[in-house]
């Protein structure tokens, strides 16, 4: 059994150049880039396992695509980590909002995407933290990404570009 918690919510405050995590920690952001299909964020991280975080909020896809720049010895081979949930913005104050719906997809190039944290989704639903409709939407989003990546020869990056209608770009290209 996992550590049950409410859906994680974050605020991406573009005008203030900050990112507020689900615990209320406000971190400075190095770069925001708004596109017709989403919001890009790049910031340093004060975490023992990774030094930098890049994220794309992709509202139409129900995804947050992340690259964690891991320090030596942590998660070698992982490229993208995709959170499934509700992502929206900008609001009237220029902020974007994220609500994580527990399911995640892990991308290791050359392998099919891996769906993880299914147990957390079921536990959240049983505890009344997510509605049946939200859980069904989370499963639909995961299925669409898994099938989409498979149709692109297990290249989630290629599928993200096609499905978003833009170029989901990163610091390394």
The CATH number assigned to the domain holding 67 equals 2.40.380.10
DSSP H or E run through 168: none
Interatomic CA distance for residues 39 and 57, integer angstroms? 5
Interatomic CA distance for residues 117 and 104, integer angstroms? 6
pTM score: 0.94
In a domain, 3, yes or no: no
- Residue 1: what pLDDT? 52
SS3 content of the chain, % helix, strand, coil (to 5): 25, 40, 40
pLDDT tens, 20-70?
Answer: 999 999 999 999 999 999 999 999 888 778 789 999 999 999 999 999 887
> Percent of the chain beyond pLDDT 90?
83
Which range marks the domain in which residue 35 is found? 9-164
Q: Given a cut of 90, is residue 72 above it in pLDDT?
A: no
């Amino acid at each position: 059994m996992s550590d049950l918690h409410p859906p994680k919510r974050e605020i991406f405050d573009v005008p203030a150049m900050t990112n507020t995590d689900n615990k209320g920690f406000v971190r400075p952001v190095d770069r925001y880039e708004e596109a017709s299909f989403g919001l890009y964020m790049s910031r340093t991280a004060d975490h023992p396992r990774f030094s930098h975080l890049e994220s794309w909020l992709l509202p139409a896809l129900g995804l947050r695509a992340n690259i964690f720049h891991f320090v030596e010895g942590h998660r070698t081979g992982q490229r993208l980590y995709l959170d499934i949930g509700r992502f929206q913005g900008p609001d009237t104050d220029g902020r974007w909002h994220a609500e994580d719906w527990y399911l995640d997809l892990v991308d290791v190039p050359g392998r099919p995407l891996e769906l993880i944290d299914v147990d957390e989704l079921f536990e959240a639903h049983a505890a009344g933290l997510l509605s049946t409709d939200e859980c069904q939407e989370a499963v639909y989003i995961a299925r669409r990404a898994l099938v989409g990546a498979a149709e692109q020869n297990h290249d989630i990056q290629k599928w993200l570009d096609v499905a978003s209608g833009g170029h989901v770009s990163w610091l390394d290209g």
